[in-house]
Amino acid sequence: MIENRPLPGGAYLLRLACADARREEPRSRPGQFVQLLARPSAHLLRRPMSIHDEGDGWRSFMIKPVGPASCELVALGPGANVDAGPPLGRGFPDAAELGAGPLLLVAGGFGIAPLHFLARRLEALPAPPEYALLYGGRTRCDVELDAVVATRSPVLVSTDDGSLGFRGTCVQLAAEWLERRGAPTAAATVLTCGPHAMMAALHAAVGARVRRLYASLESVMACGVGACMGCVTPSVHGLVPVCTQGPVFRGDEVFGVEMGTSHV
């Protein structure tokens, strides 16, 4: 471990040395995750953590101590050993796949980690696309702005109680942003990560008005490679493992689909 920095809202930003992380040839894609476990640990299974950023020889992760394994991780100091696997899962499409048009990045709570990484990757392009980053939480304590490294586009913040930024949900802020922009919203692409209910509400509110919506699902993953089938989610393709078929899905693949339903 290179650095373990506490954040005001109770989360920690861990930066780990990773030999496979290089700026010249990125090995991971925003939206992917890495399985982590402190060494030594009282637990056997590594825990999935979204990649927050990546540099030359390092990756960072935003971790909140909610269980015993994550508590072990955030208790480590610089120089400690962490058992880290390779980047796993399907991330967000790259700029070429997304095509032309503005991008709206909508993060709820800890969903900021992969979208921060996406914003950083977009800005590293020779011709960065137009984008906006929206970040929502229930209160100002749920918005970890210290985890957002300076980006070209300002971060638009919403809180349910109005204690910081826009008063309301990030879904309401996203709908307002699309309306305020004035240009045809059908050209915009929305990329989101956060609680499932938030993303489902976002899809219901704006999914039919934009070109496409991509969502990174949050799920408890054990193996990370689709073997245990403990993280399955209903989709138009039936029940699929989030760890290998996602975590990033098209909104129309996973929202409004009931358990056991298939359209293929």
- Structure tokens belonging to residue 53: 């950023």
Superfamily name with CATH number, domain 3-84: Translation factors (2.40.30.10)
Phi, psi of 162 (to 5 degrees): 75, 15
Instruction: Give 78-119 as a 3 state SS string.
Output: CCCEEEECCCECECCCCHHHHCCCCEEEEEEHHHHHHHHHHH
Residue linked to tokens 């980053």 = 133
Please tell me the distance from the alpha carbon of residue 138 to that of residue 59, in angstroms, as a whole number. Answer: 28
In the predicted model, is pLDDT for residue 153 greater than 90? no
Confidence of residue 18 (pLDDT cuts 50, 70, 90): confident
Among the ranges given (22-26, 123-127, 133-137), the one the predictor scored with the smallest mean pLDDT: 22-26
In the predicted model, is pLDDT for residue 259 greater than 70? no
Please tell me the distance from the alpha carbon of residue 239 to that of residue 246, in angstroms, as a whole number. Answer: 12
Cα-based distances in Å from 198 to 10, 14, 94, 214: 22, 26, 24, 13
When the pLDDT of each residue in the chain is averaged and rounded to a whole number, the result is 90
pLDDT at 189: 95
- Residue-range domain boundaries for the chain: 3-84, 95-217, 219-264
pLDDT digits (tens, 9 = 90+) for 155-205: 999 999 999 999 999 999 999 999 887 667 778 999 999 999 999 999 999
Please tell me the distance from the alpha carbon of residue 140 to that of residue 147, in angstroms, as a whole number. Answer: 14
Confidence of residue 22 (pLDDT cuts 50, 70, 90): low
- Structure tokens belonging to residue 64: 């909140």
Tell me which H or E stretch contains 259. Answer: none
Pairing mode, if any, of strands 248-250 and 212-216? antiparallel
pLDDT at 25: 60
- Cβ density class 148-164: b for 16+ within 10 Å, e for less: beeeeeebbbbbeeeeb
% of the chain surpassing 90 pLDDT? 71
Please tell me the distance from the alpha carbon of residue 78 to that of residue 27, in angstroms, as a whole number. Answer: 24
CATH T-level fold of 95-217: Rossmann fold (3.40.50)
Q: Tell me which CATH code domain 219-264 carries.
A: 2.10.240.10
Q: Are 225 and 48 in contact (CB under 8 A)?
A: no
